[in-house]
Amino acid sequence: MAKPELKAECVRLRVEERLSYKEIEKRTGASRGSLSLWLVDYPLTEKEKDGRQARGQRKPRPLPSTFFLAVKGESLTRARKARIAEAAVLFRLALHGFVPFGAAFDGERADWVVDVEGRLLRLQVKWVKTESHGLPLVSLNCTEGHNQQRRYQQGDFDFIVGYDLLADLAYVWSWKEVEKHKKSITVSPDAAERWDKLRT
């Protein structure tokens, strides 16, 4: 689509369908910078903005898993969360035909090591954190020394897996997929149960 046609379509979507920048960007591929120039004379009303903001705060979450319901109301310690997450990932690795090996010592960067066609892949398992608003996330920080936090570095793991007890889902990301994220990565459907990534 030529630029004048793209601009006309973006203006039409704002005027006729009252779409936000994000919605128009998604539908047309126009950049945010272009949209801010083209649509400056076609703002959304405060009521439209408030409605979108309220909808954006209610992120859809799955129904609670039977595992979540089994411990609902209990205060889980950090160590117990780690054991639950590591066991959930171990189950999935076995289910998908991988042969996992545990780390020799506590505190190792890799919770599981998997031999995939002669390649040893190190997996770091994390508990998915649920914030009061927004989607759940996986921290990209680790503890070092006397409870000092630092960002994971290249070489610490090949894959990071976040386990979400509420949904009973494991999210799989390669180092490449998380290296540019600063502190955390938000769970997304395209990472859910993606054990095939280990074989590519």
pLDDT the model gives residue 59: 53
pLDDT above 90 (res 146) = no
Instruction: Judge if 53 and 76 occupy the same domain.
Output: no
Q: For the full predicted model, state whether its pTM sits above 0.75.
A: no
Residues 51 and 102 in one domain: no
pLDDT of residue 57: 47
Domain co-membership, 121 together with 154: yes
Residue 195 C-beta-side C-alpha neighbours within 13 Å: 17
Q: What is the pLDDT of residue 37?
A: 87
Residues 22 and 108 both lie in one domain: no
Mean confidence (pLDDT) of the chain: 87
* Count of C-beta atoms within a 10 Å radius of residue 190: 9
Same-domain check for residues 80 and 178? yes
CA–CA distance, 44 with 2 (Å, rounded to integer): 25
Which of 57, 81, 103 corresponds to the end of one domain?
A: 57
* Concatenated DSSP letters of 96-148: TT--EEE-SSTT-S-SEEEEETTEEEEEEEEEPB--SSS--EEE-EEEETTTE
Same domain, 42 and 114: no
110 and 19 in a common domain: no
- Same structural domain, 78 and 31: no
Residue 181 structural domain: 66-199
Write the CATH number for 152.
Answer: 3.40.1350.10
- C-alpha to C-alpha distance for 106 and 159, rounded to whole angstroms: 18
Query: Same structural domain for residues 113 and 184?
Result: yes
- Do 115 and 190 belong together in one domain? yes
Cβ atoms of 130 and 59 closer than 8 Å: no
Are 127 and 139 a contacting pair, CB within 8 Å? no
What gap in Å lies between CA 162 and CA 160, rounded to an integer?
7
Q: How many CA atoms lie within 13 A of 171 on its CB side?
A: 23
What pLDDT, in 10s, does the model give residues 32-67? 888 888 998 888 888 877 766 555 444 556 789 999
Render pLDDT for 100-138 as a digit per residue (tens, 0 to 9): 998 766 667 789 999 998 999 999 999 999 876 667 999
* Judgement on whether residues 52 and 16 belong to the same structural domain of the protein: yes
Q: Are residues 21 and 115 in the same domain?
A: no
Helix pair angle (21-28, 3-17), 10° resolution: 140
State how many domains the chain has.
2
